[in-house]
Amino acid sequence: MSAFRTIDWKNDRLVLLDQRRLPEETVYLELESSEDVAWAIREMVVRGAPAIGAAAAFGIALAALRGEDLAAADERLRKARPTAVNLFWALDRMKAIWEGSSETPEALSQRLVEEARRIAEEDVAANQAIGQNALPLIPEGAKILHHCNTGALATVDYGTALGIIRIAHEAGKRVHAFLDETRPRLQGARLSAWELKELGIPHTVIVDGAAAHVMKKFGIDLVVVGADRIAKNGDTANKIGTYALAIAARHHGIPFYVAAPTSTVDLATPSGEAIPIEERDPKEITHCGERRLVPEGSLVYNPAFDVTPAELITAIITERGVVYPPFEENLPRLLRDQG
C-alpha cells in the first residue's frame, strides 16, 4: 500500500488527493455529487485511466445517495473525458446495477457503493498482478524509460507501468528509471518523480525531447508505458509523446511494453483510428501558471493523447498475462479464455 490514498471513500464522500497541487502540497478534496466528480475528472484533480474509472464509479454511488437522476449523472460523467475507456467500462458496470432496478433507493445506493468499492479493490489486485507478470521481462540492473504517470496516483494503488518499476525494485533488481517530464501537464516530473522519491527508487527526470538521446547514451533496456485505450488490433492510445517514444525505441532495438489492466482493452474499437483523442485547453501550452510563454496570436494544438501503432509494441502486460502479437487474435483470446 502507498503512504497516500489517491481515491478513498469516507463517510459517504469521495476523497481525492488533488493531483494538480503535487508535489508542493498534499491536499485532499471531499466530493459529494456526480457534478463534483465530473469536474474533478475534467480538471485532472484525479487522472490516469484506472483512477478515472474508479472515481466515476464512486460518482454514481454519490448520485444515488443524494437522490440524483442516475441517467443524468451517468451522462455527465461519460462526458468528462473521452479517451480513457476505463471511464466507460466502470460506468457500464455501475449501469448494469442501476438500470431497471426495482430495489428501494437505500438498497440500490448500498449496492452501488459496494460495486464502486469492488472496482477499486480489483484495480489494486490487477496492478499487483501486472507487476508480477512483468518481472521475468525486467533484466537485473535494468535502465527503464517511462512516460507520464502510471503509478499509484494514476490508479487506486500501485500503478501499472510505474508499478512494474516498483515491483522490480522491491524484488531487488536494482532498476533505474528515466522519467519523461511529459509536457504539458508534467505528470512525469511532478507525479512520477514524487512517487519514486517517496519509495526510494533511483530515477532521473529528463525532458521529453531527450528520450532518444538517452536511449542511445545510457543504453536503455526497455520502455514501459501505460494505456488509456487499447484497440482490438493492439493500437494503443496513451499520453501524448508515447508514439514518438515507440518509434525511437524501435530505431534503437529496445523492447517497448504497454502495461494495462484488461479494463483498458476495448474490443469494440477495431483500431486506433476509432479512438477519440482528447484536445485540451491551449492554455496548458501557452502558459506556465499565469505567465504567458507563447506569443499572443500563435496557433496552438494540444492533443492529450496519441496512438502508438500495434506494430511498434513488443508486448502488452496485463493482470491476466503477457500478450504478444498478433494482438488482433491474442487480445480477444485473453479476454475470452479467462473472462
Size of the site for ligand MRU (CB under 6 A): 17
Q: Which of residues 34-63 bind ligand MRU (CB under 6 A)?
A: 47-50
Q: State in angstroms the smallest separation of the CB of 111 from ligand MRU.
A: 27
Pinpoint the alpha helices (H) of the chain: 34-42, 49-65, 70-78, 85-98, 105-134, 161-170, 193-199, 211-218, 242-251, 283-286, 327-338
Is residue 208 part of the annotated active site? The answer reads no
Q: According to CB under 6 A, which one of 2, 34, 133, 160 is a site residue for ligand MRU?
A: 160
Q: Residue 235 has which C-alpha cell?
A: 493500437
List all residues 6 or more positions away from 76 whose beta carbon is below 8 Å from its beta carbon: 34, 35, 38
What is d(CA 228, CA 258) in angstroms, rounded to the nearest whole number? 10
Q: If binding is defined by CB under 6 A, does position 6 make contact with ligand MRU?
A: no
Q: State in angstroms the smallest separation of the CB of 189 from ligand MRU.
A: 13
Confirm if 73 and 60 have CB atoms less than 8 A apart. yes
Q: If binding is defined by CB under 6 A, does position 154 make contact with ligand MRU?
A: yes
Q: If binding is defined by CB under 6 A, does position 148 make contact with ligand MRU?
A: yes
Q: If binding is defined by CB under 6 A, does position 131 make contact with ligand MRU?
A: no
Q: Which of residues 173-232 bind ligand MRU (CB under 6 A)?
A: 187, 226-228
What is d(CA 21, CA 38) in angstroms, rounded to the nearest whole number? 18
Q: State in angstroms the smallest separation of the CB of 226 from ligand MRU.
A: 3
What is d(CA 112, CA 114) in angstroms, rounded to the nearest whole number? 5
**CB under 6 A: which stretch of 99-107, 149-157, 269-277, 288-296 binds ligand MRU?**
149-157
**What is the sign of the dihedral through the CA atoms of 224, 237, 128 and 166?**
positive
Active-site residue (options: 74, 123, 157, 228): 228
In this structure, the strands spanning 176-180 and 143-146 are parallel
Q: Which of residues 311-330 bind ligand MRU (CB under 6 A)?
A: none
Q: Can you give the binding site for ligand MRU, defined by CB under 6 A?
A: 47-50, 84, 148, 150, 154-155, 160, 187, 226-228, 238-239, 304
Residues with catalytic function = 228
